[in-house]
């Protein structure tokens, strides 16, 4: 911008005497400049080197509230707020040196006392001889601009705080449109166990656990590429091979054309919740099974307990009747003589029979109740699961059964047995039961041979106890483990509880039991128990 | 009416068998009675160990069948009888201590003729079996054809 302002009377007229034409053109130029100054929104002010106002355009009137006639001739200092008065001295000093100050941001005071933020450009005014005679000052109101700058700053700070809060709570990653990671927060690094350097530039396949089918990720990508937000639970794999679950929200950032340019994923660690859920499901399944088992037991027991009761009641009545006959015989006694013939039937047949059945019924009920108590206590016994030396355990059982084995002349052959995890006393009882059954259900027509063998399969030690006994027909095998079920009540003693308890014990130890058998050839009972972990 | 049917009592509890027999006899039934102590025994009698019924030409039977039995239970015995083209004509009366609704339903599904629960109370037991005896005398039991 050039020098001329409101011309002072002496100003430059005599500097050079231009021709009339030139003068005319010069006049047009001055008029145009005057018009520009008149209509400018900026305040355009001139002042002397002493700081006295010499001109004041309408823009200045609007900006500061003073009319030109109120301020021309007054010091410009009237516009300065008390804390900025030093500025004027500085400005005037620099102007005298011929310096120009551009877009100098400061504050001024309006006539009404209100502050106004301004951006000021101040230039020296020179006369025709190049001497500095004053200063022109163009001021622009930047109050609004300052305000929006502040708002922007506040917004940026707010965004930063929100991000910091997010980083505190969530696992955050940002990828480009191709899915390459461009940002990860500390939580992402700590849960995935990868460093930031290892993650940046890669895509999320680096933490893929292979748990989810391809379609799962296809759906995810279809959603976010289409501009949609995706929510879901993902199982990821950390650098050290461990797995973690995250509840995930992926938010695509779209460009003006509506295409994603970035994907922001926010995740929460739900590994524990997933583990809890799985455990809960296991518990529920376990409970359902136990419930079914209990129902079967209640059903069975209600039947089995009723049977002896029918006998006790029935034969009790028969006892009554026998007594009635004896009473009748006594009542009809003649001369103190009771007819022996009349007493014979009740005394020799009815009463002993009735007593036999009543006693048997009572004993049966007692046995059932004892068995039931034993079975129910099993659920409360604390198991001590430890590595078991099965060679030692089985040989101890065989020693304890030596008398029965010798008496039946049975041949028992035991291979080398791998160890397993189980409760010593309970496991011993289960195996003792299997050996006892082999002896109980032997085929008397041949020498009993019992073979105990083992193999390790899929983390389980699978033991087999094979005999050449009477065997079990196909239809009866499932029943063998049923509570109080007795395959051969006539030939073998027992309460029908051995295999039921063995099964329950082995299940509680994380194992199982099953039968293979051929009628007339023999039975093989298999017991699978967890192997001993190599480190143990 | 032809010859009275033979009553096949399938009952593992000897006491129950005696009580039932006593009551039937007291009620005046003159039918022959055979007692089987487990499910396998009665199946052997009817099927002779084979898949099909052995010849019982001209015989008539009524089966009194308990459910909980050693070796083969009453449900399986019922299934086998009702699954045989000839034996399915036999009236099968379930006589058991169990009153479980599912069990009752299952037996009827399989085609039992009557389901009676053995009452524990002796008087009721007697009454039930006595009426059952009278019921049996009224039955017109078809003879099994020879093969």
Q: What is the ipTM of this complex?
A: 0.80
**B106 in any annotated domain:** yes
Say what the pLDDT of residue A329 is. 86
3-state secondary structure of A274: helix
Residue B100 in contact with partner chain A when CB distance is under 8 A? yes
Nearest residue, CB atoms, A310 vs list B16, B73, B98 = B16
State pLDDT tens for residues A115-164.
999 999 999 999 889 899 999 999 999 988 989 999 999 999 999 999 99
Q: Which residues of B touch A304 (CB under 8 A)?
A: 68
> In chain B, how many domains are there?
1
Nearest residue, CB atoms, A311 vs list B15, B96, B98 = B15
More confident residue, A519 or A69: A69
Max Cα separation, chain A?
187
Residue B127 in contact with partner chain A when CB distance is under 8 A? no
Pairing of strands A132-141, A411-414: unpaired
Residue B118 in contact with partner chain A when CB distance is under 8 A? yes
Residue B112 in contact with partner chain A when CB distance is under 8 A? no
Does the pLDDT value for residue A509 go beyond 70? Answer: yes
CATH number at residue B75: 3.40.50.2300
Please report, rounded to a whole number, the percentage of residues in chain A having pLDDT higher than 90. Answer: 58
Determine the residue of chain B that is closest to A305 in CA distance. B97
Distance (Å) of CA A405 to CA A244, A401, A450 = 56, 6, 10
State the pTM of this model: 0.56
Say what the pLDDT of residue B101 is. 82
Does the pLDDT value for residue A274 go beyond 60? Answer: yes
CA distance A480 to chain B (A): 9
Q: Which residues contact A378 (CB under 8 A, 6 or more apart)?
A: A501, A504, A505, A508
Give the angle subtended at the CA of B88 by the CAs of B87 and B92, to the nearest 5°.
95
Q: Which residues contact A476 (CB under 8 A, 6 or more apart)?
A: A487, B71, B72
H or E element that contains A386: strand A385-388
Compute the average pLDDT of residues A514-523.
Answer: 88
Does the pLDDT value for residue A12 go beyond 50? Answer: no
The structure tokens listed for A111 are 């006539």
Determine the residue of chain B that is closest to A473 in CA distance. B71
Q: What does the mean pLDDT of chain A come to?
A: 88
8 A C-beta contact, residue A142 and residue A117: yes
Task: Answer whether B122 sits within 8 Å of A317, measured CB to CB.
Answer: yes
CA distance B60 to chain A (A): 28
CA distance B5 to chain A (A): 26
Number of neighbours of residue A179 by Cβ within 10 angstroms: 14
What sign for the dihedral angle of Cα A312, A313, A319, A322?
negative
Nearest residue, CB atoms, A303 vs list B14, B22, B98 = B98
Does the pLDDT value for residue B2 go beyond 90? Answer: no
Residue A289 forms beta bridges with which residues? none
Residue B73 in contact with partner chain A when CB distance is under 8 A? yes
d(CA A11, CA A34): 16
Nearest residue, CB atoms, B16 vs list A307, A476, A486 = A307
Q: Which residues of A touch B125 (CB under 8 A)?
A: 310, 313-314
What sign for the dihedral angle of Cα A146, A152, A155, A157?
negative
Residue B60 in contact with partner chain A when CB distance is under 8 A? no
| A residues 348-367 lying closer than 8 A (beta carbon) to B | 353, 357, 360-361
Determine the residue of chain A that is closest to B20 in CA distance. A314
Say what the pLDDT of residue A471 is. 85
Determine the residue of chain B that is closest to A485 in CA distance. B70
Residue A292 in contact with partner chain B when CB distance is under 8 A? no
Say what the pLDDT of residue B96 is. 85
CA distance A312 to chain B (A): 9
Q: Which residues of B touch A303 (CB under 8 A)?
A: 67-68, 96-98
Determine the residue of chain A that is closest to B41 in CA distance. A488
CA distance B89 to chain A (A): 24
Q: Which residues of B touch A299 (CB under 8 A)?
A: 98, 100
**B93 in any annotated domain:** yes
Domain residue limits at B67: 12-138
**B59 in any annotated domain:** yes
Does the pLDDT value for residue A478 go beyond 80? Answer: no
8 A C-beta contact, residue B42 and residue B9: no
**B145 in any annotated domain:** no
State pLDDT tens for residues B65-111.
998 888 788 999 999 999 988 888 888 999 888 777 888 898 999 98
**B76 in any annotated domain:** yes
H or E element that contains A14: none
Q: How confident is the model at residue A462 (pLDDT cuts 50, 70, 90)?
A: very high
Say what the pLDDT of residue A355 is. 93
Phi and psi torsions of A224, nearest 5°:
-75, -30
Say what the pLDDT of residue B135 is. 83
Task: Answer whether A486 sits within 8 Å of B70, measured CB to CB.
Answer: yes
Most B CBs within 10 Å, among A298, A304, A305, A306, to test the B interface: A306
Residue A218 in contact with partner chain B when CB distance is under 8 A? no
Residue A153 forms beta bridges with which residues? none
Residue A491 in contact with partner chain B when CB distance is under 8 A? no
State pLDDT tens for residues A418-449.
999 999 999 998 999 899 889 988 888 899 99
């Amino acid at each position: 911008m050039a020098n001329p302002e409101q011309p002072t009377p002496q100003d430059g007229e005599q500097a050079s005497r231009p021709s009339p034409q030139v003068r005319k053109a010069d006049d047009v130029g001055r008029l145009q400049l005057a018009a520009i100054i008149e209509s400018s929104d900026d305040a355009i002010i001139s002042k002397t080197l002493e700081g006295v106002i010499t001109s004041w355009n309408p823009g200045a009137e609007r900006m500061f509230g003073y009319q030109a006639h109120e301020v021309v001739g007054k010091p410009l200092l009237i516009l300065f707020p008390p804390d900025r008065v030093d500025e004027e001295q500085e400005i005037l000093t620099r102007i005298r040196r011929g310096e120009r100050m551009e877009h100098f941001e400061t504050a001024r005071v309006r006539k009404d006392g209100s502050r106004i933020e301004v951006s000021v450009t101040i230039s020296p005014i020179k006369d025709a001889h190049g001497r500095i005679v004053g200063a022109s000052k163009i001021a622009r109101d930047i109050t609004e601009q300052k305000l929006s700058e502040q708002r922007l700053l506040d917004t940026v700070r707010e965004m930063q705080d929100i991000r910091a809060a997010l980083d505190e709570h969530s696992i955050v990653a940002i990828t480009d449109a191709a899915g390459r990671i461009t940002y990860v927060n500390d939580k992402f690094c700590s849960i995935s166990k990868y460093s930031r350097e290892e993650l940046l530039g890669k895509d999320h396949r680096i933490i893929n656990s292979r748990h989810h089918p391809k379609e799962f990720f296809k759906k995810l990508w279809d959603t976010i590429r289409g501009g949609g937000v995706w929510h879901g639970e993902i199982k990821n794999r950390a650098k050290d091979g461990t797995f973690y679950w995250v509840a995930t929200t992926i938010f695509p950032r779209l460009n003006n054309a509506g295409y994603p340019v970035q994907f922001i994923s926010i995740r929460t660690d739900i590994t524990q919740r997933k583990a809890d859920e799985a455990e809960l499901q296991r518990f529920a399944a376990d409970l359902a099974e136990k419930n079914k088992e209990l129902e079967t037991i209640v059903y069975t027991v209600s039947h089995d307990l009723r049977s002896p009761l029918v006998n006790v009641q029935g034969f009790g009545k028969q006892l009554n009747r026998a007594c009635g006959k004896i009473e009748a015989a006594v009542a009809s006694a003649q001369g103190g003589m009771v007819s022996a013939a009349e007493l014979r039937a009740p005394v020799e047949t009815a009463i002993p029979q009735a007593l036999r059945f009543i006693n048997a019924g009572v004993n049966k009920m007692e046995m059932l109740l004892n068995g039931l108590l034993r079975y129910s206590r099993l659920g409360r016994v604390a198991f001590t699961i430890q590595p078991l030396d099965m060679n030692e355990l089985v040989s101890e059982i065989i020693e304890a059964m030596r008398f029965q084995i010798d008496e039946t002349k049975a041949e028992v052959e035991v291979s080398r047995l791998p160890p397993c995890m189980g409760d010593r006393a309970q496991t011993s009882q289960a195996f003792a039961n299997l050996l006892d059954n082999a002896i109980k259900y032997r085929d008397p027509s041949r020498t009993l041979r019992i073979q105990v063998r083992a193999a390790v399969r899929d983390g389980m030690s699978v033991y087999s106890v094979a005999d050449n006994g009477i065997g079990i027909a196909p239809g009866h095998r499932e029943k063998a483990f049923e509570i109080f079920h007795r395959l051969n009540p006539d030939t073998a003693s027992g309460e029908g509880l051995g295999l039921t308890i063995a099964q329950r014990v082995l299940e509680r130890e994380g194992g199982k039991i099953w039968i293979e058998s051929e009628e007339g050839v023999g039975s093989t009972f298999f017991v699978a128990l967890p192997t001993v972990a190599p480190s143990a | 009416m032809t010859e009275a049917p033979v009553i096949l009592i399938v009952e593992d509890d000897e006491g129950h068998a005696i009580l039932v027999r006593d009551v039937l006899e007291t009620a005046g039934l003159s039918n022959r009675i055979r007692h089987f102590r487990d499910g396998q025994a009665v199946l052997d009698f009817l099927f002779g160990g084979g898949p099909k019924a052995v010849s019982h030409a001209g015989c008539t039977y009524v089966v009194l069948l308990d459910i909980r039995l050693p070796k083969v239970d009453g449900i399986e015995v019922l299934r086998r009888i009702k699954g045989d083209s000839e034996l399915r004509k036999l009236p099968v009366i379930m006589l058991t201590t169990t009153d479980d609704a599912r069990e009752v339903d299952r037996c009827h599904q399989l085609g039992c003729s009557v389901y009676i629960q053995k009452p524990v109370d002796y008087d009721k037991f007697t009454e039930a079996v006595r009426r059952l005896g009278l019921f049996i005398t009224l039955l017109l039991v078809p003879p099994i054809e020879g093969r």
